[in-house]
Amino acid sequence: MSELEIKDLQVSVDTEDGPKEILKGVTLTIKAGETHAIMGPNGSGKSTLAYSIAGHPKYTITGGTVTLDGEDLLSMTVDERARAGLFLAMQYPVEVPGVSVSNFLRTAKTALDGEAPKLRTWVKDVNKALEDLNLDPTFGTRSVNEGFSGGEKKRHEIAQLELLNPQVAILDETDSGLDIDALKVVSEGVNRFRAQQGKGVLLITHYTRILRYITPDHVHVFVDGKVAASGGPELAEQLEAEGYDRYLKAGV
């Protein structure tokens, strides 16, 4: 049972003109068993939030705190955050030439657990995860994300989620570039993860279509590096109908 608590988080990035503030005091709490969706226009800071929590070196934390089960995430290295139970599915998964999917996943699992999973059991687990996501078992022999379609990359991310089984998953635009069939498969994988007791999900998206398959407990509107509004699933439907104009004008 884990709780991710973000308090007054402020983040900047270095530019040619000096530091630029991106997050301007974000406060959110993702309790165990909850799914939170963050929606907002391009450039509002949604992905910055995800990468800052995960520890990307590009982003400088200038204020606020992030804790997981009361432990200070911001003082941890990236691998320590993963071992603490944090998982990030990236908007643009990177390629790792020469490293097979199976070896990559087993190495990651070993790093998290402190010991290698038994090979026979692991192969079965990997094959089942791939099958559940409509990926051929031979997929495990391919280099990580090299030559993958957009849908394959996203399904591979969800296979990682299921096999590594973190406490809190941050999914950064997992629905981008997916056709309707792939969207359903990916959503089913996320819902299998959510069905486990005590799991938390922070789902970042532009569109409501994924929320037809993954029903959030809370929806937050992100504008100009801040949470402009929060509500239930009905807020997503309002955004679908009305867009972000009212929130953008309010912030002017």
Segment 116-146, tens digit of pLDDT: 898 888 889 999 999 999 988 888 888 887 7
**DSSP secondary structure letter of residue 243:** -
Tell me what the pLDDT averaged over the chain comes to: 91
Span 187-203, pLDDT tens digits: 999 999 999 999 999 99
Q: C-alpha distances in angstroms, 41 versus 100, 152, 174, 252?
A: 36, 26, 16, 15
Q: Are 6 and 172 in contact (CB under 8 A)?
A: no
Does the pTM exceed 0.85?
yes
- In degrees and rounded to multiples of 5, residue 107 shows phi and psi of -65, -40
Q: Nearest-CA neighbor of 223 among 46, 21, 20?
A: 46
Query: For residue 92, which amino acid is it?
Result: Y
Q: Nearest-CA neighbor of 114 among 83, 84, 78?
A: 83
Residue with tokens 């591979």: 156
Q: Are 63 and 11 in contact (CB under 8 A)?
A: no
**DSSP secondary structure letter of residue 115:** S
Q: Where are the domains of the chain?
A: 4-250
Residue 17, classified by CB atoms within 10 Å of its CB into exposed (0-12), middle (13-18) or buried (19+), is: exposed
Looking at residue 1, its pLDDT comes to: 59
Looking at residue 69, its pLDDT comes to: 93
Span 89-121, pLDDT tens digits: 987 777 788 888 888 889 999 998 889 898 888
Q: Which CATH number fits domain 4-250: 3.40.50.300, 3.90.1150.10, 3.60.70.12, 1.10.3720.10?
A: 3.40.50.300
Query: For residue 190, which amino acid is it?
Result: V
Cα angle value 90/209/140 (rounded, 5°)? 40
Q: Do β-strands 59-68 and 4-15 pair in parallel, antiparallel, or remain unpaired?
A: antiparallel
> The tokens of 140 are what?
């495990």
Number of C-alpha atoms within 13 angstroms, CB side, residue 211? 26
Q: Please provide the distance, in angstroms rounded to a whole number, between the alpha carbons at the two ends of the chain.
A: 40
Of 83 and 148, which is predicted with more confidence? Answer: 83
Classify the phi-psi angles of 203: left when phi > 0, otherwise alpha if psi is within -120 to 50, otherwise beta: beta
Q: What CA–CA distance (Å, rounded) separates 200 from 169? A: 6
